[in-house]
Amino acid sequence: MAPTASVQVKTGHDATFQFTIPAKVAGLAGTKVTVTVHDGGWGAAHDTYVHSVTGGAQTAYPIIGGPGITVQK
């Protein structure tokens, strides 16, 4: 597990945070990752998630099961 940094909640439905992959993860240690989520309402039907190397292109993927994403300020 890595501590999060630069947490931003926008409009109550969108959030972005960053973390750095810990040193104990061989081959990826020190990689900075950005995660962006969208809470599209009750359930998972309209929620999206994306992660990428910080500064890289991001393409959001729909959440297709489970309870979905909840963004709270």
- 30-66 pLDDT, tens digit per residue, is 999 999 999 988 877 889 999 999 988 888 888 888 8
CA 18 to centroid of chain Cα atoms? 8
d(CA 60, CA 14): 12
pTM higher than 0.85 for the full model?
no
**Model confidence at 2: pLDDT above 90:** no
Q: What's the length of the chain?
A: 73
β-pair partners for 7: none
* Residue matched to tokens 């292109």: 57
Q: Which two tokens stand for residue 39?
A: 């809470």
